[in-house]
């Protein structure tokens, strides 16, 4: 635990933002610009400190049983013999991605300017996820370079989505999740390792193509995803073999559908808008036509 705390302090120093907070003297607290910037900084540290505590606490309860000297491990990537068949790598990328996107939104809400939030969110997301890697390094798991690279890929994709709105309109990174039978029978709460209930995918939305935005085709999207079955700790007795799978698919863009509906509804506008945003990150199971290719 000591190593995790010291690592977070070091990461926090690296993360120290140059906060060009919006000089808004009409802020609800009626603070002058210097006081407002100080208030933003306090919120920044409180937010990141709370998240770091949550991540470290969850890790101690669920992942890290013993703390030792630093060690390294080679988990592989997406080979059949790799840890979880590589599903944990797409999982790391998505976890960092979603954390980064949420942090960018929260940073804007506390007063950080848009052009700063778009890179500070991914940097903070990557740094917070690095706490997990540092915890692993001093635990029975060992430090995994492939996990760190996956985290970096997720943070970079989040930055691209934040920095370039046109790219955000074109591509979503999503998770599909439906608890596996083994997980439901286990009585556990650690869904983060229930890989047989997950798929991670990129959705390419025709609504992001300028010439198709007003066309009925704008409600279509194409999927490219990866998932494994039979690798999870919950899978014993439920799968005859371990499989790695790539899938492609076509679907209705549910996010756009609900977004359009929210614009036409007064009563349910807010609810539909929130649902539309969630569906940019979550893919409901079985609501698409797919082709699955199993890797051997």
**Contact predicate 163/119, CB 8 Å:** yes
Nearest to 250 by CA among 215, 214, 287, 285: 287
Per-residue confidence (pLDDT) for residue 73, from 0 to 100 = 78
273 shares its domain with 189: yes
185 shares its domain with 158: no
How many Cα atoms are found within 13 Å in the side-chain-facing hemisphere of 249? 22
What mean pLDDT, rounded, does the chain reach? Answer: 84
Neighbours of 211 (CB within 10 A): 9
86 shares its domain with 224: no
Domain boundary (163, 193, 216) is at 163
Q: Look at residue 25 and tell me whether its pLDDT is greater than 90.
A: no
DSSP conformation class of 28: T
- Containing domain of residue 94, as a range? 1-163
Per-residue confidence (pLDDT) for residue 23, from 0 to 100 = 46
Domain boundary (135, 163, 191) is at 163
Domain count, the chain: 2
248 shares its domain with 294: yes
pTM of the model: 0.83
pLDDT in tens, 54-91: 887 877 776 777 777 777 777 888 888 888 899 999 99
95 shares its domain with 170: no
139 shares its domain with 170: no
pLDDT in tens, 149-194: 999 999 999 999 999 999 999 999 999 999 998 898 887 777 878 8
């Amino acid at each position: 635990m000591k190593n995790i705390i010291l690592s977070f302090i070091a990461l926090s120093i690296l993360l120290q933002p140059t906060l060009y907070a919006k000089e808004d003297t009409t802020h609800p607290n009626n603070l002058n610009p210097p006081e407002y910037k100080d208030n933003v900084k306090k919120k920044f540290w409180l937010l990141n400190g709370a998240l770091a505590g949550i991540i470290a606490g969850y890790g101690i309860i669920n992942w890290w049983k013993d703390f030792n000297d630093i060690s390294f491990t080679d988990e592989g990537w997406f080979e059949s013999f790799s840890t979880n068949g590589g599903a944990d790598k797409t999982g790391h990328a998505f976890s960092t991605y979603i954390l980064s996107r949420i942090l960018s939104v929260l940073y804007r809400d506390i007063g950080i300017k848009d052009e700063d939030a778009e890179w500070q969110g991914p940097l903070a997301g990557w740094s917070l996820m690095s706490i997990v890697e540092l915890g692993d390094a001093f635990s029975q798991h060992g430090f995994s370079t492939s996990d760190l690279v996956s985290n970096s890929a997720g943070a970079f994709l989040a930055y691209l989505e934040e920095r370039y709105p046109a790219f955000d309109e074109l591509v979503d990174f999503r998770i599909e999740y439906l608890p596996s039978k083994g997980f439901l029978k286990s009585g556990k709460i650690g869904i983060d390792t229930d890989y047989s209930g997950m798929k991670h995918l990129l959705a390419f939305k025709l609504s992001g193509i300028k010439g198709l935005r007003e066309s009925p085709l704008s409600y279509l999207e194409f999927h490219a995803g990866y998932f494994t079955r039979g690798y999870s700790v919950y899978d014993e007795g439920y799968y005859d073999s371990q499989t790695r799978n790539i899938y492609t698919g076509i679907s209705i863009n549910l996010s756009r559908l609900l977004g359009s509906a929210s614009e036409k509804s007064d009563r349910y506008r807010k609810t539909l808008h929130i649902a539309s945003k969630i569906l940019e990150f979550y893919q409901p199971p079985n609501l698409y036509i797919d082709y699955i290719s199993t890797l051997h």
